[in-house]
A = this chain, B = another copy of it.
Amino acid sequence: MEPDTQIDLSAGARSRSDQIAGLLEEQILTGRFPPGARLDEASLAEEHRVSRTPIREAFQRLAQSGLVDHAPRRGVFVRQTTAVEIMEMFEVMAEIEAICGRLAALRATETAVEALRQANAACRRALEAGDADLYYEENGAFHRLIYAQSGNRYLEQEATRLHRRLKPYRRMQLHLRGRLKQSMAEHEGIVAAIASGDAQGAERLLRAHVAVQGEKFHHLLSQLRIDV
């Protein structure tokens, strides 16, 4: 075989363990397995009608994504993500989005900007329809578009990964009074900055747009006194 043939693994042939990993991730994030809970190989294997092998492989993926801790010879435990850690992740997310915005302002083509405008229009429709869940989805698409327009695939990947990791904590803020409208207004400014090639503006606006999510999360915490 020639060493320079890149393997195509775009095939959707996901193995059983992959599916289980995704499912477990969802279940952890939605709270079926609370922080500190131990994930039992045997019972999960029974539940999913598979042997321990796929379960263990799923555990490995979860451990690497930081969702669980793997204590050798003792088991797998749902990681206790502290509020501090989440705030730290929001801070990094703000910076990464700021970078994406800056690069996007410098690199986005006219057609790319048009795509961004359409994504934003979809957000506006969701807002006007009062559909918070839909807004949440369209908002995600909007941001992923900015990641892509950074023109840096690696950056896009990393941004998407962190975005995904913060998903449950962003979702908590959906029903905060007035947040959607404010978010929408910020979007307008961001699109304008990227469209006009205002790199500094896009950077600043995006950083603020995301940083406010971290702050909202903090407020939510102290109001509800939830231990995350």
Residues of A whose CB lies within 8 Å of any CB of B are: 1-9, 11, 13-15, 34-38, 56-57, 60-61, 64, 69-74, 77, 80, 85, 88-89, 91-92, 95, 99, 152-155, 158, 227
A39 CB to nearest B CB, Å: 12
A183 CB to nearest B CB, Å: 23
A91: which B residues are within 8 A, CB to CB? 152, 154-155
Contact assessment for A88 and B155 in the assembled complex, using a CB-CB cutoff below 8 Å: yes
Per the bound structure, the CA–CA distance linking A92 and B95 in Å amounts to 11
A164 CB to nearest B CB, Å: 14
Copies in the complex: 2
Q: Given A9-B71, A72-B11, A72-B13, A85–B154 Cβ distance below 8 Å?
A: yes
Contact assessment for A37 and B89 in the assembled complex, using a CB-CB cutoff below 8 Å: no
A150 CB to nearest B CB, Å: 9
Closest chain B residue, CB of each to CB of A65: B64
A154: which B residues are within 8 A, CB to CB? 85, 88-89, 91-92
A185 CB to nearest B CB, Å: 26
A37: which B residues are within 8 A, CB to CB? 3
Of B57, B80, B99, B227, the residue contacting A6 (CB under 8 A) is B80
Closest chain B residue, CB of each to CB of A88: B154
Closest chain B residue, CB of each to CB of A91: B152
Closest chain B residue, CB of each to CB of A82: B6
Of B15, B57, B89, B99, the residue contacting A95 (CB under 8 A) is B99
Q: Given A60-B57, A154-B89, A34–B80 Cβ distance below 8 Å?
A: no
Per the bound structure, the CA–CA distance linking A69 and B7 in Å amounts to 7
20 contacts between A and B (CB under 8 A): A3-B80, A4-B35, A4-B36, A6-B80, A7-B36, A7-B69, A9-B69, A13-B73, A56-B57, A57-B60, A60-B61, A61-B64, A85-B153, A88-B154, A88-B155, A91-B154, A92-B99, A92-B154, A95-B95, A95-B99
